[in-house]
Chain A
Amino acid sequence: MEVGQMQRQWLDYTRSLFIEGFLDGQFLQLEQLQDDNNPDFVVEVVSLFFQDSHKLLNDLTIALDQKSVDFKKIDAHVHQLKGSSSSIGAQRVKNCCIAFRNFCEEQNTDACLKCLHQVKQECCLVKNKLETLFRLEQQIMAAGGSIPMMELSF
């Protein structure tokens, strides 16, 4: 594939991610942080996020399975997840987390479970999207091109 085409594809894809609300401005900031010193910074942070979120989601699942649900603990977990997701700009995950925390405050176990499911889904979704994105980037790099600059500035 031609490099230019791939770049355009990458741009379109990124834009769609933004428009569909998977990502927000924070992701752009991440990209801006990536430089020669940290060539794989975005990938590193994102994979860190997914490791972290995987662990957190597991914890959450276990915590919600308990008979007497410790909402304080769940709230703390969700809060952490919210912080990290907002840091990588995974907007939809973040929004889910906000809803989750609200239900946590209400101590609504059913809604929490639903939310957990949703968060998991969103995580999965954004993970797939980002993987696709990174694959595209790798292809571009492999083809000798450079990653185009996103000028979406949310």
Chain B
Amino acid sequence: MATTKFRHVFGRLWGFATSCKKSSSSNPIGTRILQRDVEKEEFQFASTLCLSSYYSVFVVRLAIMVMLAILIGLLTILTWHFTKIYTTKSLNSLAYDLRYELLQRPILRMWNILNSTSEITIAQVKLSQYVIRSHGNLTTQEDQVEMYEAMRAVTWALFASRKALNSITVKYNNGFVQAFHRDIKDNNTFYIYSDLDNYSIGASGYNNSELNYSSLSSQESSWNDNDNKSTVWYRQPLDPVTGERIGKPMQIAPEDSIHIAGLSQVPDGVASWRVAVSKFTDSPLLSAALPVWDSSNKSIVAVVGVTTALYSVGQLMKELVELHSGHMYLTSLEGYLLATSTDAPLLDNSTQPPKLKMAVDCENEVIRLGAEYLRRSSGNKFPPSHEVHVANVRLGHDRYYIDSFFLNLKRLPLVGVIIIPRKHILGQVDERAFKTLVILISASMCIIVIGWVCILILTNGVSKEMKLRAELISQLEARRKAEASSNYKSQFLANMSHELRTPMAAIIGLLDILMSDDCLTNEQCATVTQIRKCSTALLRLLNNILDISKVESGKLVLEDAEFDLGRELEGLVDMFSVQCINHSVETVLDLSDDMPKLVRGDSARVVQIFANLINNSIKFTPSGHVILRGWFENPNPCSDSANFLMEEKKLQCAQKTRAKQYENHAKRTSERDKKAVLWFEVDDTGCGIDPSKWDSVFESFEQADPSTTRLHGGTGLGLCIVRSLVNKMGGEIKVVKKEGPGTLMQLYLRLDTAGDDTEQHCLVDIANNGLVVLLALHGNIGRSITSKWLQQNGVFTMEASEWNGLTQILRELFHTRSSSGTNNGFDVHYPIPESLKSRLLSIQEIRHPVFVIAVDIGLLDLSTDIWKEQLNFLHRYLGLAKFIWVLNHDTSNTIKLELRRKGYMMTVSKPLYKAKIVHILEEVIKERNHEMQKKNMDELHVHESDYTHCDAASSDDSDISESAPCNPVSSTEKFEQFDLLSRYRINNCLIGLTDEHSEVKTPRKEDSYQNNHNSPKSLSAEQAYFPREAHQGEDSESRGKEEHRIIRGLGRPANGKKSLEGLRILLAEDTPVIQRVATIMLEKMGASVVAVGDGQQAVDALNDMLGVEDFRRDSNLNERNTRSSSPQTEILSFPSYDLVLMDCQMPKMDGYEATKAIRKSEVGSGVHIPIVALTAHAMSCDEAKCLEVGMDAYLTKPIDFKLMESTILSLTRKTTS
């Protein structure tokens, strides 16, 4: 079994080795060498790996196999053993009995023979004694004859009675012999006697013998001499039954046919036994001799000898062993064969006289071998009473049982041996046992083989699975590591950029200081400006990286706040149009009317998306236009034409409805789920992007053309951020095919629409007011879009793209009306196109038309002084039409002053988009109404500012502007302030940071500096950077720098009202420093503050309004804070606090708990006091936690003055309005 196992193992190893060889040699030789080498290496690597794992698996397998083999082997052996050994044992005992029995019978027969022989002998001796005694003295021959006759009769009687007797002899001391002999072969019976005549009666010899027993030997010799010399023997056949003499006596030689027992055989007068061999029979004879004593018992008168043939014993043995083909034999103690079960001769005929054969010389091979075996095993000398029982002796070719028995007769010890072939007794058993063994072994071999195969298959599967698992684990590990490293990367980037921003801010701030220094030379100033620009660019890059890493690390959390999408985009376009002026690129905003006004989302991020896109477009567009289109994909669109007016009205009344929306705040939260899909397109006429790069431009650090970095700068991060943000907002962005040059980026965003569908229409209808708008604008695209939109809204429009066209239309319009025109140097006659003519005709059909002429300042020839003439020309039409001057950002102040001097009050800065037009038209309509009511001219002045800043209102921050369209006649300053605020906001959003206004301040520094002193417009832009400082309301002493003077001066509220005037704020803050700082800040803004030390006090203060005063008295820090005018009224008006500023980490009860408690107590009362979290945790998850517990907003420490103000304002306005 072991050898097979090893062979198996070896076979497997060998097979594996050959397979390795095969597979390594099976590589195609023709392939490239390099590749082959690599493959080889890989293979070797794999094979060593495989080999090591294979060995371990192999060892396990081997162990299992060995165990299985041992188990099955044991089972087999045990089974075989138990079945075989017990049968063998029982069979053996049976066989032994059989053998014993078998042997016992011939021995008994032998015994019988011996017994009978001895009995006969004794009987003969007794009878002979009697006969001899009865005859007394034999004096005469007659007496002697008579006695011999009597003896003969007696002897015959005995002889006849025993058929088995071979012969009976009587030899008398005178040498006379009487004998009966039976020839068994011929079945003849003879009487043998010696010649009586030769014997004398007188026997001196007897006397001698009587006298001296000791000289018996000499006497004997005399007997023998007598016998040999002188006796003549006769043999007379007898009837075997009757004993009648039937034949004539024949003379035979003495001792010829039979052996006569003489005196020599009874030397000591006792019976003797011996085995004799006769000449006449081929079997040994058993002869016994006994002397016959005379009456006095002193001398032997005769010797009686009886011989018995042992032939019958042999016959019996033959019969016995015939059945089982065994062999039996009897030997004398010396080893002479006495009887065998075979026909083999017992006598050695080769010698004369024949002698008994030794058993070892027997002709029968089996007997001979058995005898030899016995002699070998027990030595020559057979020990008395030693019996041998041996099973399983190999004699010749077969196996035999050998058993020997010892029969101890006096003078004739016998040994019986029986040899039985094993086959006879155990033949079947042995055969069966062998067969069983073979079957068992083969069965177990089969089982082992099958088991091994099963184990192989199983372990193969297991090892494969384990390998796969190990691989999987390592893969997972690798993935985890990769993710971790990616995270580290993002983290690192974020940290780095964050850390870098701080020194960058310092650099920029210091540069600003340096630039504001007057003592710089021009060159230095230019250098510093350059450094300033570079720093800003660097900062932008850092911000981009920060954005990307935020998105990548998944930490970018989008705000969810309501904002006016249109307004944000308008602000954006406003800003970029400034950039475009240098490029002669037209920036156009084209939003469809069905765009939802208010959406929910992260306005800063949305603006960032478009800022990046437009920035890109402008960067790559040297001339032409950049259009931002937007439309709304309604999931269930209704017919546009029917809704068109309604939508238009909606657009304009949005601001009013917003107030209502606040009231419905709670209601709307449930309905807010509807997501709108807003589509946008940024279309430019720039160099375009190769179609193969359409996908890759959105990857980080990818640019369409490697040369762009050189030409246009940039890092290729912008579009990546855009895509990340768009995806984050549930949208997609792609570059789409465009006819003509340029790029067309299409994207959609999924934003929540915040507005109610059932908006009310409260706008002044711009249609049906008899408005005729003449658009004399430079940019073709913008003009046509505007005009198309106006016509859709039922406003009659005309277009002119240059000065000449304008004059022609003007002339046509007004000259046909008034038919009295003065010809001027400017009006050159051109043939009027037919289309224009028909338009003019249709205009004439309008009743009471109001002409609105929008004139691009670029139409005037500004390079020379001709523009004054042109103004003068237009001035003639001042009374006939309303002029709107579309100014550029760089329009010089002299022109503006001139315009104002001439009474053109409505100016608007480029670009001219819908909201501005709507605003202008509204004003025009209102003004007309005013005029109709004969208002005095002074009001015009008021309106002027409105018009000047109508753009501001449209792009204003939604919180503040809500009052603007409804109360256009508010103070100038207020509008200015809004304008500032909006610019600040927009810029802030574009940069993507809300807290570092100093960065924002700088990008427009240059142009603000150019126009600093003479342009109020740019001045206001400049002030935008510190709008909130206005609310400090403190006109402190001059602090040296002009910039600050401006800020402070402007910041002074016109009505002396502080931004948070009248608000009551509960401040829960445990750190005294922060408490103090926040208190002062809030008080500066005009709010009255109650400060408490922990959350529990805050909750108590809110819950127990009557206890407010106690708390104030208790808190030792707040004596100065209790400046509010009338606590009594506050207590009465529930809630007395307008807002809570809540620190998150406080002793006793933290901010979260306190907020929860407050919100809980509010349940049912319908009150919702705004709670603003104050926390030093700057992570967005904290923000989420704050909002989760019910806080409304979130401020980080250190408290930013402006941010706090705007947050508080937005929250309190919401509630108070």
Contact = CB atoms under 8 A, between A and B. Distances in A.
Interface of A: 18-19, 24, 26, 29-30, 32-33, 35-38, 41, 44-45, 48-49, 51-52, 76, 79-80, 82-84, 86-89, 146, 148-149, 151-154
Given A76-B1145, A154-B998, A49 B1073 contact: yes
The 6 closest A-B pairs by CB, nearest first: A149-B1039, A84-B1073, A26-B1198, A49-B1073, A86-B1198, A84-B1071
Given A35-B1034, A36-B1034, A87-B1198, 7 more contacts: A26-B1198, A29-B1081, A29-B1200, A49-B1072, A87-B1078, A149-B1044, A151-B1041
B1044 to A, nearest CB: 6
Contacts of A83: 1071, 1074, 1143, 1145, 1176, 1197
A37 B505 CA distance: 32
Interface in B1183-1202: 1197-1201
Nearest to B1174: A83
A18 B506 contact: yes
B1168 interface: no
B1060 to A, nearest CB: 14
Interface string B1032-1043: 101011011101
A86 B1195 CA distance: 13
Contact of B509 (A51, A148, A152): A152
Nearest to B1026: A153
Interface in B477-535: 502, 505-506, 509-510, 512-513, 516
Nearest to A51: B1072
Contacts of B1029: 32
A87 B1197 contact: yes
B1077 interface: yes
Nearest to A101: B1176
B516 to A, nearest CB: 7
B1077 A88 contact: yes
Contact of A84 (B1037, B1041, B1074): B1074
A19 B998 CA distance: 16
Is chain B's binding surface mostly helix, strand, loop or mixed? helix
Contact of B1080 (A26, A38, A76): A38
Contacts of A87: 1071, 1073-1074, 1077-1078, 1197-1199
A148 B1040 CA distance: 7
Contacts of B1036: 35
B1073 A151 contact: no
Given A87-B1077, A146-B1037, A148-B1039, A153 B998 contact: yes
B1084 interface: yes
Nearest to B1177: A79
A89 B1074 CA distance: 11
Contacts of B1043: 151
A99 B503 CA distance: 19
Contacts of B1039: 148-149, 151
A87 B1198 CA distance: 5
Nearest to A55: B1072
Interface in B1025-1079: 1029, 1032, 1034, 1036-1037, 1039-1041, 1043-1044, 1070-1074, 1076-1078
Nearest to A76: B1145
Nearest to B1029: A32
A88 B1070 CA distance: 15
A149 B1041 contact: yes
Nearest to A150: B1039
B1073 A152 contact: no
A151 B510 CA distance: 9
B1081 A153 contact: no
Contact of A79 (B1072, B1078, B1176, B1199): B1176
Contacts of A148: 1039-1040
A88 B1080 CA distance: 13
A30 B1032 CA distance: 12
Interface string B1138-1162: 0000010100000000000000000
Nearest to A152: B509
A153 B1145 contact: no
B1073 A88 contact: yes
30 contacts: A19-B506, A24-B1198, A29-B1081, A29-B1200, A29-B1201, A32-B1029, A32-B1201, A33-B1080, A33-B1081, A41-B1080, A44-B1076, A52-B1071, A52-B1073, A79-B1145, A82-B1176, A83-B1074, A83-B1143, A84-B1074, A87-B1074, A148-B1039, A149-B1040, A151-B516, A151-B1039, A151-B1041, A151-B1043, A152-B510, A153-B509, A153-B512, A153-B998, A154-B502
A69 B1034 CA distance: 49
B1025 to A, nearest CB: 9
A148 B1038 CA distance: 9
A16 B42 CA distance: 63
A151 B1176 contact: no
A154 B505 contact: yes
B1203 to A, nearest CB: 11
A153 B995 CA distance: 11
Most buried by A among B997, B998, B1084: B1084
Contacts of B1080: 33, 38, 41, 45
B516 A86 contact: no
Contact of B1077 (A45, A76, A82): A45
A38 B1198 CA distance: 20
A48 B1079 CA distance: 14
Interface in B2-34: none
A52 B739 CA distance: 69
Contacts of A33: 1077, 1080-1081, 1084
